[in-house]
Structures are given as C-alpha cells and as structure tokens.
Chains A and B, each alone.
Chain A
Amino acid sequence: MAKIFVVDDEPDVVELLRTILELEGFEVESACEGRVALARILADPPDLLILDLMMPGLDGMEMLKLLRLDPQGADLPVIIVSARTGQIDQIGSLQLGANAYICKPFSNRELIAQVRQLLGEEAS
C-alpha cells in the first residue's frame, strides 16, 4: 500500500485530500508546515508528496528546492496543488523538479489519475 504525504496549511484541504486518498486505499500522512513536513519526509520517505505552494513559513517552492537537494528526496514524485494558476508558477514548479501541477479547486478524479500515474499504477 503506497504512502502519500500531504502538505497544506489549510486543515480542511488536508482533511479532504486524506479522505479522497484513503477512499482510494492509500495510506496518508500530513503536515501543515513546510519544515516539519520536510523533516518527517526525509526521516521516513513516502511514495509520493502532495504539496501546497502558498504556506506561511517555508513555502512550497522553497521546500521543493530543499527536498531535491537531499538524496532522500531527489526522486520522490511530487504533485503541486496550488491556488496559483499562472503559467509562471506551473513552469517554475516543474523546473524545480515537481512532477505535476494541479490548480485548486481541483477535480478529485484528476488528482487521483495523477497520483496513480506517478505511482506507476493503472488508473481506476
């Protein structure tokens, strides 16, 4: 069973993601803050990371940069889920090493399809 780590400063969104993913049969861990999340991820790497961009403290972009610098996090699949819709944010995130970019409010199906694809599973 794949383990997915969710980072978002909004508890309701974390809760939603947890519900959706758990219904799909994934194991979900979450954090509301970038530094805590980074420490936990590097200590116990998940199979996939869902990351918000706009967060107080260490924001998503910074966290992604630090993650990619660490050998533990270099190959971890990352999906950015953000309210930012500008092309520049999408391109910037992908350049920093994100694997996919989904705009909020997202479609559940799209999210799950992305997750499964990145985990190398068949879409359900």
Chain B
Amino acid sequence: MVSVVVITLVASGGALVFSKHRSLTRSMERSARTFAALVSLPLANSVDNYRDTGHEILRQVVARYTELNPNLIRLQVVDVTGREAMDARLTAGKWVLNAYPRTARSPSVSSGELEPRIASLRLSGRRVAGPGMGRMYRVVAPAVETWGRHTYTLICYFSYARVNRDIIRAAAVTTFFLLSGVFLAYVVSVVLARSITQNVERLHSGVRRISASRFDERVSVDSGDEIQDLAESFNSMADRLQTSIGALREAYGRLESLDQAKRSLLATVSHELKTPLTALRGYLELLEEGRLGGLSSEAGRAVDICLKNVGRLTKRIEELVELARLERGTGLVITEQIDLGNFVKGIVETMWPRLEEKELRCTWTAAPDIPRVIGNSEHLERAFLNLLDNAIKFTPEAGTIRIVVEQEERNEVPGVRIRVVDNGIGIPGDQLENVFDRFYQIDQTSRRRYGGLGLGLALVKRAVELHHGEVSVESAPEEGSTFIVWLPVDGGERNRPGASSDRLGESSETAPSEA
C-alpha cells in the first residue's frame, strides 16, 4: 500500500522534472536561434567595419550583444570560406575577444561538419559536445544582406548550464514539496489512525470492563465521528443493562431474603410444633403405662387415641420438614455405597408390623450381582419407606406387595431399578401424572379415608431426583399400581462437576437452617 503510494509519487515527480527539463531546453534553444537570427547581420557588419582597426569599438558592440542572452558563451564570426574574423569567448566570467584584420592569417574552422552550414544560407541549430564544457547548443546563422550578399556567418554557442541549474533547482523544489507532502500525509495518517485506534481501544476496554460485570463503567469518546456514535449507543446499552441488572439484583435479594425467611420460619415452625408434641407424647406414654396412676379402660383408650394422633402429627411435621429440605436440594451428602438388595430388605423388615396388621403378603426379590449405588441412605430410606407405606395404605387386607430389585441401564448409564408392585385399588389413568405432586390426593374421599397430607410421593420423587434418578408409576384402577424407581450407580456424580461443593454446602447451609 505504502510502496504503491511512494512509487506513484516518485513517478509523477520524475515526469514533472522531465517535462520541465524538456520545455526549458526547447525554450533556451528557441531563444538562442532567435538571438542568432537577429544578431548575425548587425554583428557581421560591425566585424566587417572594425576588424582591421577599432577593436575597442568591436568589443563594446559584442558586449552589448552578449548581454542579450545569458546562455551565450561564444560568438564566432567567420567568412564564407571558414576563416575567422572574430572570436569572443566567455572565459572565467569575462569575455575575451579576438579580432583578425583582413591581412592577418586567421585560424580556420576545421570541422568538415561545419563547412556546409557556414556556406549555407539557412540558419541551423545543433547540440554539440563542447570542449570540457559538457553539451552545448550551437547555432550557425548566415549574415545575409537584403540584396543577397553573404560574406560572413555567425556561429554562436550556448551553454545548458543555466537550464540544468534551473532544472536541478526545480527538481529540488519538487522533491522538497513531494517529500514534505509525503511526510505530512504520513503524520496526518498516523495521528488519525492513532486517534481512531485509541477510541476503538477505549471502546474495547469499556466492553471488557462491562463484561467483567462492572456495569457502572462508561466509555468516553469525543471524536465526533462514527466511533463516538458507537460509544454513545454502547453507553446507552450499558445504561439499560445496569438498570436491568440492578432490578435483577434487587429481585434476587428479595428472593434470597424470602428464602432465608422461609428457612428460619421452617426451623421455628418445626421447633415450635415438636416441643409441645414432646411434652404430649411423654406424658401420654407415662399415662398409658400407668406410671402416673391407674386409668379406667375408657381413659386408657382415650390416651391411646391421643398417642396415635401425636404420632401422626409428628410424622406429618417430619414430612414437611423433609420435603422443604429436599426441595432446597442443598446439603445433601450423596457419598454412601448402598447395597439396594439388603437396603430394601431392611425397609420391609421395618414395615413388617404394619404388613402383619393388614395381613398383607410381601415378597422381595433381588437379582444377584446388583451393583452398589452411591447415595444418601437417610433420604433413600425415607423414600422407600414412603413407597411401601403408600402400597400398604392402598392395598386391601390380605393383598400382595412385591418388591423387585434389578439391574438396568438407562441412556447408557448403569443403574438399579426397584419396582414396588401392589394389587391395591390402583390409580385412574387421568390422575397418574399428578400423584407425585405435593398435597395431591386422588379425591376428598381418599383424603378422609387414607389420611396424610399427600406429601409421601412428592418426597419420594424429590429424593430420587436429587440422586439423578427417575421415578414413575404404572397403574390400572382395581388392578393395582407399580411404582418404579431407577437410581444411577454413580449417584448422579457425572452430573455434578462440583460434587465436593455439595459436602461443603452440607455444613454451611443445612446446619443453621433446619430445626
């Protein structure tokens, strides 16, 4: 790019100097010919008059003529045979004149090339090489009188030195302006480029600062061009961004304080509910055991009912606390290696009294080589207790519950599937997708008949989800339901790049928030 500009400039400068040189040379040569044409006859006459005597007069005449053309360096007047009559030369800045009387034997012009021109009646100009003076312009002008007599011929020599000096001066001036033009252009372009890049850099750093979340940053560009426009629209974008971010932060702050309030409310509610229940349960148990004096059978029955209801209330509160904790999802340690075969067996054993109470048959089968699952035994235990509790609740007396533990891969992730199959009342098809919702009961009759807040299955779902597992249900009314839980072997480790932070979350978040 730059080289193209330089080459163009140099070429145009060269062309300028060349054409100037040409025109100066031509004009010098033209004026030389004119000079010779005008001077030849009068000078020849003066020479003819004064060559024998009066050299001083001749010198004055020549001096007058030589002033007319600054390029003139030699005047020679020869007769038609080529013999010199006069020769005036510029030597070291002075004119030196030699005039030869007719009687003297004067030098002769020896050049064969000159002879025909001297004899000719026509004026001719020619560039010739001068002795030690570089090129010269030589004009041969015959002095022809009006009636045709041709006795003398004027030969004048002109130097190109002046022309060359003018050309060199012109070239120097041209080069000077050319170079200063280039320099100026360079300076202007550098300054311009610098101011543009500076503004762009300012804009860029503004964008960087904003993307580093410093939303109060603004860009100041005062260049009065498109970059300033860009900076202004960038600033207005930053304004809007700041407003939105501010609103978002505020909203987030409100949400956080709301969440905080929810947690402390949960802690307080749970504490406040459990403390009276503690006193109730303790004294009721003392009464039931007769440690505070004997009771009538009716009073004993009343105490039993009270105790049973205290138990129910306790369980509901536990469910609420548990669900709230699971829904926060924080502080869950999923690090234990759990053998689900034995785990399910333990749960069935825990529920054995209730199974016997309803005379239900419960079988469990675990395939051999069930891999261990990484999980949180507390939450999984509660989930499976809830599932089994649910199955017991909705299976009529003398019904059957089957629990099957198998290995199953889902989406190329190895895992374990646990199916809890009952032959209870089942769930209508249009209700299937709702059974895992919080506080969901199939209908009001169901709520009265089976009790509970409808939290059990929501708890199951949440606990399984926190293990990155899946829970689903298949059912037909009056035929029974099958609840299917699938847990990945790795406890969802692949989905938690910051798995270790969960453990940190445990100590920092759960401890103060839960009653």
Contacts and interface: CB of A to CB of B under 8 A. Distances in A.
Contacts of B333: 87
Size range of the chain B interface in the assembly: 20 to 34
B509 to A, nearest CB: 9
Interface of B: 270-271, 274-283, 285-286, 289, 291-292, 310, 314, 318, 321, 325, 331, 333, 376, 378, 506-507, 510-511, 514-515
Contacts of A26: none
B409 to A, nearest CB: 30
Contacts of B277: 104-105
Interface string A97-124: 0000000111111000000000000000
Interface string A15-55: 11101100100000000000000000000000000000010
Contacts of A10: 275, 278-279
Contacts of A23: 286, 291
Contacts of B291: 23
Contacts, number: 76
**From A13, A15, A104, A106, residue with most partner B Cβ within 10 Å:** A104
B270 A83 contact: yes
Contacts of A87: 333, 376, 378
B286 A86 contact: no
B281 to A, nearest CB: 4
A85 B321 contact: yes
The interface residues of chain B, by DSSP majority, are classed as helix
10 contacts: A10-B279, A13-B279, A19-B282, A23-B286, A83-B271, A83-B275, A88-B506, A105-B274, A105-B281, A108-B282
A88 B286 contact: no
Contacts of B314: 105
Contact of A105 (B278, B331, B378): B278
Contacts of B507: 88
A44 B326 CA distance: 44
A106 B282 contact: yes
B325 A86 contact: yes
A54 B512 CA distance: 10
B313 to A, nearest CB: 9
A70 interface: no
A68 to B, nearest CB: 18
B510 A86 contact: yes
Contacts of B331: 86, 88
Given A23-B286, A108-B285, A108-B286, A84 B278 contact: no
A106 B281 contact: yes
